[in-house]
């Protein structure tokens, strides 16, 4: 922890910085930054060093999070050193230090001509990813701060200004850096990423601007990739909390070093396909998970456009649900409390219990857990479900929502809308804005409407609201055209049927799902149950077009999609 004098007030402020401020750094720099900026900047850099006591050490920048891989940008000097010393796979390893933690990384893509390289780490790391989209304009005279990370765990900073000098793609600042800053980040005092520091000469420090970093990174798909196999017998896994660490003994000493390696059991526990070591080594990522975030995390973006009352009501009503078959998770989605039949009940998607590959069959004896707005996990009970219209009700004992959603009102078709989701695993509350649009229905259900809100599987079953918090419909998932939702009018019809007839899942005499849809609304002429496909989790390469739809480099983190 670092303590500094907050500028202009003389108050002692605790900054959440990994490691300690280097004795040679200018501590006044941190006091000129806001608490939030200082915290973010300190988590944006790591130390990168060659293993086994080799001399080269530099800094790296938290670049992006792709599946099970956290990626760091650094100088190509690291790649040159690794390639020159390579005699076996171990020589592709890099010691990554974040504060006092030491993690094993591996050389990924690199471009020697343009002085950039990427290091991949197979672990969840608490880093702040720099934003490369829409790089800030570089104005001569702008005050900047260069960051580095020492092998001792120290976060270092030195300031300067931008000059109007340049050398080809490279720009110049007056920051006085040492060798360990090479590969580190250059920011302005507002926290905007300006580029990667490379080297110092008599004129100042040359850096690669953010726009050029982005330009060359997008070309990495055509550059050489180095695969980095890990000898599985090199690690002895030890359970620590929900993560595995490995005790690695340096062959040249008796010093024991703790490094992070992936918890392979977590995939099976979450109901995902278990990857092989070679798949992880190749940088493959897990897509279509229930942890994939979307839109803006609570407190950011669209949340700032909502009134305090609307935001508060969402917080009090939203829940996340997960169904389990034994200890293995089967499905997960979002739900929300509604007023129904005189009590508070959770409305959600029947995908929570639908058997995979079947339109009209549920998995029996599933255990349901509900993550309440208070973050407490409690048992839920499936009360009713309609697989044809994909609606389910889940009751929760001992919890009463103070302002459950009212599913009845007149709705203006032209209003902006917001889709809300709540991740069961992380507890992240998310929202994406959009508007309704009309187009041919791509799913079977003829009553579906669509919005331009971009959600993930985590948002299935979540509410679609207007900006006054009024309920419009319940969201489902369809990747290609937009987010389908069932309008409040049709949901009311389903809920009314629940009161009179109970759950809808027509079964034939053999106990198998019928090919008939069961109960339908008055104008529904369906002759078979509606299909509600949900994409299955799978592993693919980061370059696969299936995961290149977000337009952002900061997409995945250590196997799970993150903000």
CA separation for the pair 47, 171 (Å, rounded): 23
Is 527 within the bounds of a domain?
no
Between residues 279 and 499, the one the model is more confident about:
499
Lowest mean pLDDT among 286-295, 311-320, 417-426: 286-295
> What is the sign, positive or negative, of the torsion defined by CA atoms of 373, 379, 385, 390?
positive
pLDDT above 70 for 83: yes
Return the pLDDT at 123.
Answer: 75
pLDDT above 80 for 405: yes
Return the pLDDT at 53.
Answer: 61
Q: How confident is the model at residue 226 (pLDDT cuts 50, 70, 90)?
A: very low
What percent of the chain has pLDDT above 70? Answer: 74
CA separation for the pair 490, 464 (Å, rounded): 14
Q: How confident is the model at residue 92 (pLDDT cuts 50, 70, 90)?
A: confident
Return the pLDDT at 54.
Answer: 63
Return the pLDDT at 282.
Answer: 67
pLDDT above 90 for 148: yes
Return the pLDDT at 108.
Answer: 82
Return the pLDDT at 406.
Answer: 81
Is 417 within the bounds of a domain?
yes
Closest listed residue to residue 144, CA positions, set 120, 174, 124:
174
- Give the CA distances from residue 26 to residues 40, 160, 195, 352, in Å, rounded to whole numbers and listed in that order: 18, 11, 20, 54
Is 51 within the bounds of a domain?
no
Within 8 A by CB and 6+ apart from 237, the residues are 244, 245, 246, 261
pLDDT above 80 for 563: no
Lowest mean pLDDT among 204-213, 445-454, 482-491, 517-526: 517-526
Is 539 within the bounds of a domain?
no
Return the pLDDT at 220.
Answer: 60
Q: Over the stretch 354-376, which tens digit does the pLDDT of each residue have?
A: 988 777 788 888 999 999 998 99
Phi, psi of 315 (to 5 degrees): -55, -40
Mean pLDDT of 390-394: 96
Return the pLDDT at 472.
Answer: 92
pLDDT above 90 for 215: no
- The mean pLDDT value of the chain amounts to 77
Mean pLDDT of 40-67: 84
Query: Domain of 492: which CATH number?
Result: 2.40.10.120
CA separation for the pair 116, 110 (Å, rounded): 6
Is 338 within the bounds of a domain?
yes
Mean pLDDT of 478-504: 85
Closest listed residue to residue 323, CA positions, set 255, 373, 371:
371
CA separation for the pair 133, 528 (Å, rounded): 46
CA separation for the pair 147, 26 (Å, rounded): 11
Is 386 within the bounds of a domain?
yes
Between residues 261 and 314, the one the model is more confident about:
314
What percent of the chain has pLDDT above 90? Answer: 36
Q: How confident is the model at residue 344 (pLDDT cuts 50, 70, 90)?
A: confident
What distance lies between CA 227 and its chain's CA centroid?
24
Q: How confident is the model at residue 530 (pLDDT cuts 50, 70, 90)?
A: confident
Return the pLDDT at 70.
Answer: 86
Return the pLDDT at 310.
Answer: 93
pLDDT above 90 for 26: no
How many Cβ atoms are within 10 Å of 257's Cβ, its own excluded?
Answer: 14
Phi, psi of 175 (to 5 degrees): -60, 135
Q: Over the stretch 109-121, which tens digit does the pLDDT of each residue have?
A: 888 888 889 998 8
pLDDT above 50 for 222: no
Top mean-pLDDT range of 69-83, 95-109, 183-197, 345-359: 183-197
- In angstroms, what is the C-alpha Rg of the chain? 26
CA separation for the pair 499, 393 (Å, rounded): 12
Specify the number of domains making up the chain: 1
Domain that holds residue 426: 296-501
Is 484 within the bounds of a domain?
yes
What distance lies between CA 161 and its chain's CA centroid?
34
Q: How confident is the model at residue 294 (pLDDT cuts 50, 70, 90)?
A: very high
Tell me if residue 180 falls in helix, strand or coil: helix
Q: How confident is the model at residue 6 (pLDDT cuts 50, 70, 90)?
A: very low
Is 302 within 8 Å of 470 (Cβ atoms)? Answer: no
pLDDT above 80 for 253: no
Is 151 within the bounds of a domain?
no
- Which runs of consecutive H residues, i.e. helices, occur in 471-550? 488-501
Between residues 231 and 120, the one the model is more confident about:
120
Q: What angle do CA 219, 221, 223 make, to 5 degrees?
A: 75
Q: What is the DSSP letter of 461?
A: T
């Amino acid at each position: 922890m670092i303590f500094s004098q907050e500028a202009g007030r003389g108050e002692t402020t605790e900054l959440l910085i990994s490691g300690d401020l280097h004795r040679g750094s200018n501590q006044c720099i941190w006091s000129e930054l806001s608490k939030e900026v200082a915290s973010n900047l300190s988590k944006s850099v790591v130390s990168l060093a060659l293993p086994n006591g080799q001399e080269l050490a530099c800094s790296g920048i938290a670049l992006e999070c792709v599946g099970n891989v956290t990626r760091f940008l650094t100088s190509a000097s690291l790649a040159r050193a690794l390639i020159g010393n390579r005699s076996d796979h171990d020589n592709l390893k890099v010691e990554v230090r974040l504060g006092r933690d030491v993690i094993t990384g591996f050389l990924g893509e690199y471009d020697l001509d343009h002085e950039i390289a990427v290091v991949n780490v197979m672990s969840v790391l608490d880093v702040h990813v720099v934003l490369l989209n829409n790089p800030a304009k570089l104005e001569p005279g702008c005050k900047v701060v260069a960051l580095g990370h020492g092998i001792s765990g120290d976060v270092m900073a030195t300031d300067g200004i931008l000059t109007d000098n340049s050398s080809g793609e490279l720009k110049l600042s007056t920051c006085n850096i040492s060798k360990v800053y090479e590969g580190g980040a250059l920011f302005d005092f507002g926290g905007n990423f300006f580029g990667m520091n490379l080297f110092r000469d008599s004129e100042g420090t040359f850096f690669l601007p953010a726009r050029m970093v982005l330009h060359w990174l997008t070309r990495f798909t055509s550059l050489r990739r180095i695969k980095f196999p890990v000898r599985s017998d090199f690690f002895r896994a030890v359970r620590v909390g929900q993560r595995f660490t490995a005790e690695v003994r340096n062959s040249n000493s008796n010093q024991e070093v703790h490094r992070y390696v992936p918890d392979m059991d977590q995939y099976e526990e979450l109901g995902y396909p278990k990857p092989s070591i070679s798949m992880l080594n190749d940088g493959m990522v897990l897509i279509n998970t229930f942890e994939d975030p979307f839109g803006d995390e609570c407190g950011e973006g669209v949340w700032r456009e909502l009134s305090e009352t609307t935001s508060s009501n969402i917080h009090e009503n939203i829940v996340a649900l997960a169904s389990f078959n034994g200890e293995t998770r089967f499905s997960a989605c979002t739900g929300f409390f509604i007023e129904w039949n005189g009590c508070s009940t959770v409305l959600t998607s029947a995908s929570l219990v639908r058997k995979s590959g079947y339109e009209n069959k549920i998995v029996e004896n599933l255990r349901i857990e509900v993550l309440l707005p208070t973050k407490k996990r409690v048992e839920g009970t499936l009360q009713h479900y309609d697989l044809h219209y994909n609606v389910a009700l889940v009751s929760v004992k001992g919890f009463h929502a103070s302002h459950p959603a009212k599913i009845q009102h007149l709705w203006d078709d032209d209003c902006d809308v917001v889709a809300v989701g709540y991740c069961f695993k992380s507890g992240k509350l998310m929202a994406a804005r959009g508007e309704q649009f009309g187009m041919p229905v791509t799913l079977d259900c003829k009553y579906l409407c669509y919005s331009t809100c971009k959600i993930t599987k985590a948002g299935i079953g979540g509410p679609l609201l207007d900006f006054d918090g009024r309920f419009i419909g319940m969201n489902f998932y369809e990747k290609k055209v937009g987010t389908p939702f069932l309008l409040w009018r049709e949901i009311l019809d389903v809920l009314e049927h629940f009161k009179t007839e109970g759950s809808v899942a027509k079964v034939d005499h053999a106990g198998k799902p019928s090919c008939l849809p069961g109960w339908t609304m008055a104008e529904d002429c369906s002759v078979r149950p509606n299909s509600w496909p949900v994409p299955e989790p799978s592993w693919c390469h980061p370059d696969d077009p299936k995961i290149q739809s977000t337009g952002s480099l900061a997409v995945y983190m250590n196997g799970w999609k993150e903000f």
